[in-house]
Amino acid sequence: MKAKILRALKETKEEFISGARLCEQFGVSRQAVWKNISALKEAGYEIESVSNKGYRLVSSPKRLYGPEIECRLSEGNICKKVLGFDEIDSTNTKAKQLAEFGEEEGTLIIAERQTAGKGRRGRSWSSEKGDGIYMSLLLRPKAIPPKASGLTILASLAVAGAIKKISSLPVEIKWPNDIVAGGKKICGILTEMSSEESYIHYVVIGIGINVNTETFPEELEYRASSIYLETGEKTDRLSLVAEILNSFDTYYKRFMKEQSLVPFLEEYNAVLVNREKEVKIYYGMVETAKPEEIESGIAKGVDGDGSLVVLVDGKEKHIVSGEVSVRGVMDYTD
């Protein structure tokens, strides 16, 4: 209800909207309207109340507030509910816990800060309050498990497109799950799944974006960046979150209808930083990989299964998983 009232207040802009109109529009009592208006005020919204006129939105807070995100989403969006937290251990962990208890598809967990953010292969993800976007979307796709890898492809496209639209920053995708700008990582995507042989229980797509981060620890600054550091301008995180979700909604619905990545390959490969570049493929952890666990080749793009096609010694290899380093990106030079 708070999201619906917010949308109504925003649509009237600087005009007042009466409590009676809100009651009629949403089929609720005056007490329910007043209760939700009070909750919005407590959340930091400045809402003017005038007798015989109604309510007018004066200003909104900048924090990642669930109803604020919900009111910005397209009608019928796959994201149906947003649960916001000031601090959480991991949005992916919370989303998986909720999924196990039967939470519906389309629930988004978002936090101002993570204390135990997760990356691929168990790596941690640095998170500071108010600077970034840390969110996880719960899905229950009606597809066979091998199709789930395509969701990372779609999420990457949604994030890359949204960043470019909201901040005008040209970004590229580093297969399988990173968004890079200026050769440095600004976003990581972690997809986790619970499934049986031919059935997916749920998929959680975690997205962590360095948005307005101004500094990084010395051990990260050579390979990590933020939208702010690349553009010199602060980005509205709420607008970026809404654009990502609206874009992903379009990709996801088409993917579920066609059950294929083929319609998205041209768009994806066009922004793939790996494409036509020398890459190293690590089949174990980069830090401990043995020589026999490393191959070099030229990346040609991504195929219809979401695998990276690499030309190794004149033969095409389709890489399903593994750490891939691209020359010139994230400090890979040797």
- Looking up residue 115, the CATH number of its domain turns out to be 3.30.930.10
Say how many domains are in the chain. 3
| Alpha-carbon span 172 to 161, nearest angstrom | 10
Mean of per-residue pLDDT scores for the chain: 89
pLDDT of 52 reads: 87
CB 185 within 8 A of CB 225: yes
Q: Are 45 and 3 in contact (CB under 8 A)?
A: no
Residue 288: band (very low, low, confident or very high) from pLDDT cuts 50, 70, 90: low
**Domain's final residue, options 270, 299, 318:** 270
Bridge partners, residue 184, by sequence: 181
> What is the spatial distance between Cα 144 and Cα 25, in angstroms, rounded to a whole number?
41
pLDDT attached to residue 126: 52
What's the one-letter identity of residue 55? Y
Amino acid at 240: L
CATH number at 46 reads 1.10.10.10
pLDDT at position 217 is 85
Q: What is the pLDDT of residues 237-270, one digit of tens each?
A: 999 999 999 999 999 999 999 999 999 999 999 9
> Are 102 and 248 in the same domain?
yes
5, two tokens: 């009232």
pLDDT at 125: 53
pLDDT at 124: 55
CB-side neighbour CA atoms (13 Å) of 247: 21
Same domain, 80 and 223: yes
Q: What is the pLDDT of residues 158-167, one digit of tens each?
A: 999 999 999 9
47 near 55, Cβ under 8 Å? yes
Contact predicate 121/285, CB 8 Å = yes
**Which tops the pLDDT comparison, 292 or 259?**
259
Q: Report the share of the chain in percent with pLDDT over 70.
A: 92
- The reply to whether 229 and 288 lie within a common domain is no
**What is the pLDDT, as a whole number, of residue 115?**
86
How does residue 188 score in pLDDT terms, banded at 50, 70 and 90?
very high
Same domain, 285 and 310: yes
| Whether 179 and 236 share a structural domain | yes
Domain containing 290 equals: 278-326
Instruction: Check: CB of residue 79 under 8 Å from CB of residue 158.
Output: no
What's the whole-number mean pLDDT along residues 269-287? 84
Residue 161: the pLDDT is 97
Strands 124-125 and 278-282: unpaired
Could you write out the DSSP letters of every residue in 120-188?
Answer: GGG-EE---TTTSEEEEEEE--SS-GGGGHHHHHHHHHHHHHHHHHHH----EEETTTEEEETTEEEEE
Please tell me which residue, 114 or 334, carries the higher pLDDT value: 114
User: Tell me, what's the pLDDT at 282?
Assistant: 81
Q: Are residues 179 and 36 in the same domain?
A: no
Distance of CA 247 to the CA centre of its chain: 10
pLDDT at 285: 67
Quick one: pLDDT at residue 141?
A: 94
Q: Dihedral angle at the C-alpha atoms of 221, 169, 237, 79, nearest 10 degrees?
A: -110
Q: Tell me, yes or no, whether 13 and 54 share the same domain.
A: yes
Query: Do 286 and 202 reside in the same domain of the chain?
Result: no
Which band of pLDDT confidence, cut at 50, 70 and 90, is reported for residue 294?
confident
Phi and psi at residue 43, to the nearest 5°: -80, -5
Examine the domain organization and report whether 132 and 103 are in the same domain.
Answer: yes
* Joined tokens for residue 285: 């952890």
| 3-state secondary structure labels for all residues of 67-115 | HHHHCCCCCCCCCCEEEEECCECCHHHHHHHHHHCCCCCCEEEEECCEC
State mean pLDDT over 285-296.
74
How high is the pLDDT of residue 119?
53
pLDDT of 213 strictly over 80:
yes
Q: How far is CA 270 from CA 76, 171, 198, 243, 302, in A?
A: 29, 11, 32, 20, 10
pLDDT in tens, 104-133: 999 999 999 988 765 544 555 556 678 999
Looking at residue 302, which CATH number applies to its domain?
Answer: 2.30.30.100
247 and 317 both lie in a single domain = no
- Does residue 89 or residue 329 have the better pLDDT? 89
